Amino acid sequence: MIIPIRCFSCNRVIASDFRKFQKKMNEIREKRREPTPEEISNIMDDLGLEKYCCRRMILSHIELIDEIMPFS
Ligand SMILES: [Zn+2]
């Protein structure tokens, strides 16, 4: 729903990195193609997300807040 502020496993702050991650992903999608796994990996490396616990937080997150908000 909303990206957790911190990684569940190591407690690193990840919420601020998620916005930057989404922005870079959208820049690639504007070129009318999906980002390749290597590009996604490079984006996370650039953001300093080195541990796989933090990477899974970003990768597996589905942003649903905009779809749920009308019903609250
Ligand atoms: Zn972590």
The rounded distance, in Å, linking the Cα atoms of 38 and 45 is 10
**20 contacts 8 by C-beta, under 8 angstroms:** no
What's the 52 CA to ligand 1 centre distance in angstroms? Answer: 7
Say what the pLDDT of residue 14 is. 94
In a domain, 43, yes or no: yes
In a domain, 3, yes or no: no
In a domain, 67, yes or no: yes
What's the 9 CA to ligand 1 centre distance in angstroms? Answer: 5
Structurally, how many domains does the chain consist of?
Answer: 1
pLDDT in tens, 35-71: 999 999 999 999 999 999 999 999 999 988 888 889 8
pTM for this entry: 0.82
In a domain, 34, yes or no: yes
What's the 23 CA to ligand 1 centre distance in angstroms? Answer: 21
Please report which confidence band the pLDDT of residue 6 belongs to, taking 50, 70 and 90 as the band edges.
Answer: very high
What's the 5 CA to ligand 1 centre distance in angstroms? Answer: 11
